[in-house]
Amino acid sequence: MIAKWMSSSTPFFKAFGPLLFGRPARGALRKVGRLNSLQGLYELFGHLIPEARLAASPTGRNSRERVFTPQVTFWAFVAQILSPGSSCREIVRRVEVWRRETAAAGESLSGSTSAYCQARARLDPAALELIAGHLSWSLERNVLKAERWLAGRAVKIVDGTGISMPDTPANQALWPQPSGQKPGCGFPQLKLVGLFSLSSGALLESASGNLHVHESLLFRQLWDKLEKGDVLLADRGFCSYAALVGLQQRGVDSVMRLHQKRPADFRAGRALGPDDRLIVWQKPVKRPEAWSVEEFAALPATLTLRMIRLRVAVPGFRTREVVLVTTLLDAQAYPATALRELYGERWHVELHFHQIKVSLAMDVLRCQSPGMIQREVLLQRIAYNLIRCLMQRSAHLHRVPLERISFKGSLDTLRQWTSVIAAAGGTPRQQDRLIDQMLAAIARDPVPERPGRSEPRARKRRAKNYQLLTRPRHQTGNLPRRNRPQKTLPKTPLS
């Protein structure tokens, strides 16, 4: 079964030897720390990546014969992202060890990271976009019918987040820091809106901008990625007349939380059930800035929606009542209870962003220029979806619900098994058995079921007693430690 999953066991890294890609088979079970085996990654995921997108060019910047070919650079970049905290030097040292063993006597070798960094800059963003799209399509294609929503409909979730990056002039020019921060004391901020699949957890597409671009405008760039028949889940920041109509005209239904500026009058309209009303919205008088005069004039004068009240009775939740609006008007085919439960699944997008930003350390990007930031974001998306492929395969093979598969557990398991899998590259049957054992290990460690779990947004570990930087570092001398008390939560009586 695993052999069918892997299209080929022929390693394109074979010429690099075992020193770069892990120990020989005898010592393969030794713990290798955070070192990923590039060959092992290729053995696991190579069939998911269109190799033509990473082929050398007959002319141009990727036409020369180099140590860091596009393929080697791509998998090295992926391995670096899958091991947060690993440096460019670490990747270069692994290549350097191989070069010292295979280079001709007397040949000079450089330990500089320049060649690897330049090779990363030569990766074509358009090719990376196509690879990311192909990977997302592969995940969606393997979704089982039982994993979809009512009547087999695909559900997509949209949400936004903020990402920090190194403070360089080029980054600041494109993604300026918040205006409340003094120059030289803040970091560039990138706003990213992601479109996720509820069934597979895949990051299907993303759009980015700076702090001055509203998330709803970035989301509009992703409308073409939605397919007819999809159901979109979104928070109230994306809820507007124009968005609901625009998506409906594309054959996409929406389930959104009502925007806070719109009143929720449950006396209006026609009752479909308890806390379930059929209402009509009038077209706004004011045209949104993002819509042209012609686009806004083409919108219909009215829009019929369902408005559903969702009461939250879970201890620890701040919100006690949520009002939903949806274009799914058939109360028989789409009961209010099912819609309330579906909106509860919107929380998965917060978990996905946590996995990307914390487990893969995307919260603070590391590249120094806008062009490399663009490539790093794309590689983060690719690396995240590769782990989702591993989770999906393990869930399907061992009949475990995908939401019970741990992302962090899958990532940790992958790090320890890649060298073993690479070492068995010469014996495909043994390699297949190892991959099956790795997938079984992932399935044996499910996330505990914790319904209604509440975690207050408060930190137990205290911050270090250092002052905040209030002027550029080169203008700052020795600073004393601060003695101001930390903010604390209000005291509550014990019950």
Q: What CA–CA distance (Å, rounded) separates 157 from 170? A: 32
| pLDDT score for 67 | 76
Percentage of the chain exceeding pLDDT 90: 57
DSSP strands (E only) in 312-395: 321-326
| pLDDT tier, 319 (very low <50, low <70, confident <90, very high otherwise) | low
In this predicted model, what pLDDT tens digit does every residue of 30-50 receive, in sequence order? 333 233 357 788 889 999 998
Contact assessment for residue 396 and residue 142, using Cβ atoms and an 8 Å cutoff: yes
Average pLDDT in the 161-187 region? Answer: 92
Give pLDDT tens digits for 373-393.
999 999 999 999 999 999 999
319-329 mean pLDDT = 90
Q: Say how far apart CA 167 and CA 378 lie, in whole Å.
A: 20
Closest of 215, 211, 188 to residue 367, by C-alpha: 188
Poorest-confidence range of 55-69, 390-404, 473-487? 473-487
Query: Crossing angle of helices 38-45/407-423, nearest 10°?
Result: 110
Are the beta carbons of 117 and 88 closer than 8 angstroms? yes
- Across the range 460-466, mean pLDDT stands at 80
Task: Please say if the pLDDT value at position 160 is more than 60.
Answer: yes
Please tell me the predicted confidence (pLDDT) of residue 317. 59
Closest CA to 356 of 378, 373, 338: 378
Q: What is the DSSP letter of 61?
A: T
Query: In terms of pLDDT, which residue wins out, 445 or 455?
Result: 445
Q: What percent of the chain has pLDDT over 70?
A: 82
Could you tell me which residue, 319 or 233, shows the higher pLDDT? Answer: 233
Rounded CA gap, 258 and 273, in Å? 19
Which run of H or E residues covers position 308?
strand 302-311
Mean pLDDT score across all residues of the chain: 84
Planar angle of CA 284, 288, 293, nearest 5 degrees:
90
Residue-level pLDDT at 21: 35
Contacts 24+ apart (CB under 8 A), 20-24: 20/94, 20/95, 20/97, 20/98, 21/419, 21/422, 22/418, 22/419, 22/420, 22/422, 22/423, 23/419, 23/423, 24/423
Angle at CA of residue 192, ends 186 and 193, nearest 5°: 150
Would you call 106 exposed, middle or buried from its count of C-beta atoms within 10 A (0-12, 13-18, 19+)?
exposed
Alpha carbon of 99 to those of 18, 24, 60, 78, 305: distances in Å? 12, 18, 25, 21, 65
pLDDT of residue 403: 93
Q: Is the pLDDT of residue 488 over 60?
A: no
CB 339 within 8 A of CB 325: no
Give the pLDDT mean for 409-415.
95
pLDDT score for 74: 93
**pLDDT number for residue 280:** 96
Per-residue pLDDT at 14 exceeds 90: no
Q: Which of 152, 176, 149, 173 is nearest to 162 (CA)?
A: 176
pLDDT of residue 66: 76
Highest mean pLDDT, choosing among 172-181, 190-199, 423-432: 190-199
Name the burial class of residue 107, with classes exposed (0-12), middle (13-18) and buried (19+) by CB atoms within 10 angstroms of its CB: exposed
pTM: 0.86
Ordered alpha helix ranges (H), 250-289: none
What's the CA gap between 189 and 171, in Å, rounded?
A: 9
CA gap 490, 492 in Å, rounded: 6
The pLDDT of residue 22:
36
Which are the contacts of 178, defined by CB distance < 8 A and separation ≥ 6?
186, 189, 211
Residues with Cβ < 8 Å from 305, sequence gap 6 or more?
244, 278, 279, 280, 281, 325, 326, 327, 329
First and final C-alpha spacing in the chain: 56
Confidence grade of residue 3 (pLDDT, cut at 50, 70, 90):
very low
Tokens linked to 488: 């604390």
Pick from 67-76, 94-103, 183-192, 323-332: least confident: 94-103
Query: What residue spans define the domains of the chain?
Result: 2-126+382-443, 154-354
For the stretch 336-375, pLDDT in tens is 999 999 999 998 999 999 999 999 999 999 999 999 999 9
Q: What is the distance between the alpha carbons of residues 42 and 74, in angstroms, rounded to a whole number?
A: 10
Q: 281 - beta bridge partners? A: 303
pLDDT at 19: 34
pLDDT for 12 equals 44
